[in-house]
């Protein structure tokens, strides 16, 4: 159980660090190189915070799934990816309707953050699954 708690904390810390760093790099890069005159700094910050909250909720559900039913993890991964995609699309549509300026740059930057979270989460869960399989074989 302690390993699961450490893995959860590592995931949350890594995900927050990755999203905050990605947001900072995207925002600073866009503003520094003046890629767009109306870069949506606040909209991207709100989207990044909501993405962090979604990922924290997802890892908490994952931890509960590991503790209760190991057999249902694969459907959880698939459902999580679909729900994440629907969440991201709803977030994009909502923010685009609220902020008219800089929508293309927002969508591109949000897509980069979304793709980074998908890659981070996939690598993390593959690593965790390997450890869970090793523990179940012992």
What is the overall mean pLDDT for the chain? 84
Residue whose pair of structure tokens reads 């190991």 in the numeric block: 70
Q: Under 8 Å CB-to-CB from 50, ≥6 apart: which residues?
A: 91
Residue 110 near residue 92, CB atoms below 8 Å: yes
pLDDT digits (tens, 9 = 90+) for 62-114: 888 877 876 777 788 888 889 999 999 999 999 889 887 778 888 888 898 99
Instruction: Say what percent of the chain tops pLDDT 90.
Output: 16
E strand spans, the chain:
none
> Quick one: which of 117, 133, 104 has its CA closest to 23?
117
pLDDT digits (tens, 9 = 90+) for 46-55: 899 999 999 9
In our burial notation (b when 16+ CB lie closer than 10 A, e otherwise), range 17-51 reads ebbeebbeebbeebeeeeebeebbeebbebbbebb
**CB neighbours (10 Å) of residue 109?**
26
- pLDDT (mean) for 24-48: 80
């Amino acid at each position: 159980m302690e390993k699961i708690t450490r893995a959860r904390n590592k995931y949350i810390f890594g995900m927050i660090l990755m999203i905050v760093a990605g947001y900072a790099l995207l925002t600073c890069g866009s503003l520094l190189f003046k890629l767009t005159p109306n870069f949506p700094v606040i909209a991207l910050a709100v989207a990044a915070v909501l993405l962090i909250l979604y990922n924290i909720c997802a890892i908490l559900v994952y931890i509960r799934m590991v503790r209760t039913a190991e057999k249902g993890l694969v459907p959880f991964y698939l459902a999580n990816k679909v729900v994440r995609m629907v969440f991201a699309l709803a977030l994009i549509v909502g923010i685009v309707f609220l902020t008219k300026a800089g929508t293309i740059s927002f969508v591109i930057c949000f897509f980069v953050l979304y793709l980074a979270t998908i890659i981070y989460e996939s690598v993390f869960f593959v690593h965790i699954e390997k450890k869970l399989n090793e523990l179940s074989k012992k």
